């Protein structure tokens, strides 16, 4: 008897294969039950490209507002009384609103994320990458010594913090991201820890905001970072709560995702020496390589929405208020869209991949992540003649996380 979709998910989670290699499971679900209501994960699991693409584009019917509240409301009343800041913080902000509120906030931020502004950061990103890589030699954990500090430095500076703040930014982001690691469910300990870290992070952001408002009152500029541009807006200003929620979200979402985009992508390259040779022969292919890294094994394997009303998706009825989990990693390995999807091929046409989402919530920081990844790959390949995986691939340790896919460490040997 063929196992049910739910038993496949349960076994994959129990064995750990969901974290190390979820793609066989996604293939099976796509073939047998592409829209599956999973009690284990806590929502509708979508694995077919067309369905996922349709949900991401349809903010009229699938909402981003109230998603965290949906998770927090599962906790007991005693715990809920201790996480009031989480409730208030995630009730508003860029990632937790729908148009027109979301469009207003995004339009303000977009002024600091134009292609010209992001491209102007490339020399600084290159400088940081070279400085970090210069310290590497021999046996190295790339996650710890390069792929974590670099994105944190960049997003921290973009938002107006100092290099000395980076350890705290990493600690806070890890705590807040931990809320989502079980998909459509949440654990009490993670919620309480995130509440405590969110208090610290908001206090930190408030200090940065106060500095900029002091400069504004004196008629001087506090800096050219994103936070300054938001604080100094003459029109369309954000409320204090919107400002805090949005800036914290940018801190949290802006570096762990890039860390693991690079970690997953570099692992794919190390398992295919032919690709690295091809890059060495033509460094101009690196942008194509980075785009294929995102399709092949992106760091954000799923998105999430709430059904605004009773809906029907490809003949399946979804009830109002139910959580819908479009699995981006499954969409990007759908053979109907990407031929031979489990092969890393940077020459393929991958323009339709959904690694950065789609629709009104498409990732604002995607251009920055691309540049960071391009500079890291370029710097590593130019500096080292040999880059080798220093562990059996089957023994690599992965995050036990449904919302963020990535390695705990990436041991390599550099020479």
Q: 148: which 2 tokens?
A: 């974590």
User: How confident is the model over 350-390, as pLDDT tens digits?
Assistant: 999 999 999 999 999 999 999 999 999 999 999 999 999 99
pLDDT tier, 228 (very low <50, low <70, confident <90, very high otherwise): confident
Q: How far apart are the first and last CA of the chain?
A: 52
| Chain centre to alpha carbon of residue 272 | 25
d(CA 179, CA 237): 29
d(CA 259, CA 84): 30
pLDDT of residue 242: 86
d(CA 352, CA 358): 10
d(CA 30, CA 272): 27
Average pLDDT of the chain to the nearest whole number = 93
d(CA 167, CA 5): 41
Which of the listed CATH numbers 3.40.50.12780, 1.10.630.10, 2.40.30.170, 3.10.20.740 matches domain 5-414?
A: 1.10.630.10
Non-local CB neighbours of 232 within 8 Å, separated by 6+ positions = 212, 216, 221, 222
The pLDDT of 31-58, averaged and rounded, is: 97
- Bigger pLDDT: 325 vs 249: 325
The structural domains of the chain, with segments of one domain joined by +, span 5-414
d(CA 243, CA 233): 12
By C-alpha distance, which of 302, 319, 97 is closest to 181? 302
d(CA 29, CA 90): 31
Helix (H, G, I), strand (E, B) or coil at 391: coil
């Amino acid at each position: 008897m063929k196992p049910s979709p739910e038993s496949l998910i349960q076994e994959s989670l129990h064995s750990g294969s969901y974290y190390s290699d979820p793609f066989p499971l996604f293939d099976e679900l796509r073939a047998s039950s592409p829209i599956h209501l999973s009690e284990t994960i806590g929502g509708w699991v979508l694995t077919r490209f067309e369905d996922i693409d349709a949900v991401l584009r349809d903010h009229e019917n699938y909402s981003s507002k109230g998603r965290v509240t949906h998770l927090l409301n599962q906790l007991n009343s005693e715990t809920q009384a201790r996480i009031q800041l989480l409730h208030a913080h995630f009730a508003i902000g860029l990632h937790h609103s729908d148009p027109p509120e979301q469009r207003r906030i995004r339009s303000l931020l977009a002024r600091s994320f134009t292609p010209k502004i992001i491209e102007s950061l490339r020399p600084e990103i290159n400088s940081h990458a070279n400085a970090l890589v210069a310290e590497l030699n021999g046996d190295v954990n790339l996650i710890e010594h390069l792929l974590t500090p670099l994105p944190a430095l960049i997003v921290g500076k973009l938002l107006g913090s100092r290099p000395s703040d980076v350890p705290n930014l990493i600690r806070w982001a890890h705590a807040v991201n931990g809320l989502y690691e079980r998909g459509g469910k949440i654990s009490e300990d993670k919620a309480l820890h995130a509440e405590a870290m969110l208090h610290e992070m908001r206090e930190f952001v408030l200090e940065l905001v106060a500095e900029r408002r002091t400069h504004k009152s004196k008629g001087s500029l506090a800096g050219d970072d994103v936070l300054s541009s938001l604080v100094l807006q003459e029109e369309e200003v954000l409320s204090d709560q919107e400002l805090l929620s949005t800036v914290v979200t940018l801190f949290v979402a802006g570096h762990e995702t890039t860390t693991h985009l690079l970690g997953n992508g570099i692992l794919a390259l190390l398992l295919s020496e032919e690709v690295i040779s091809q890059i060495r022969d033509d460094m101009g292919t690196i942008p194509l390589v980075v785009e294929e890294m995102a399709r092949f094994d992106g760091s954000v394997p799923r998105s999430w929405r709430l059904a605004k009303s009773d809906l029907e998706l490809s003949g399946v009825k979804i009830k109002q208020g139910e959580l819908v989990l479009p699995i981006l990693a499954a969409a990007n390995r759908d053979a109907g869209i990407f031929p031979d999807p489990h092969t890393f091929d940077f020459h393929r046409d991958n323009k339709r991949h959904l690694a950065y989402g789609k629709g009104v919530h498409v990732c604002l920081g995607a251009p920055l992540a691309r540049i960071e990844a391009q500079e890291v790959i370029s710097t590593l390949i130019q500096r080292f003649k040999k880059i080798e995986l220093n562990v059996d691939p089957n023994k690599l340790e992965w995050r036990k996380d449904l919302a963020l896919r990535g390695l705990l460490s990436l041991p390599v040997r550099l020479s």
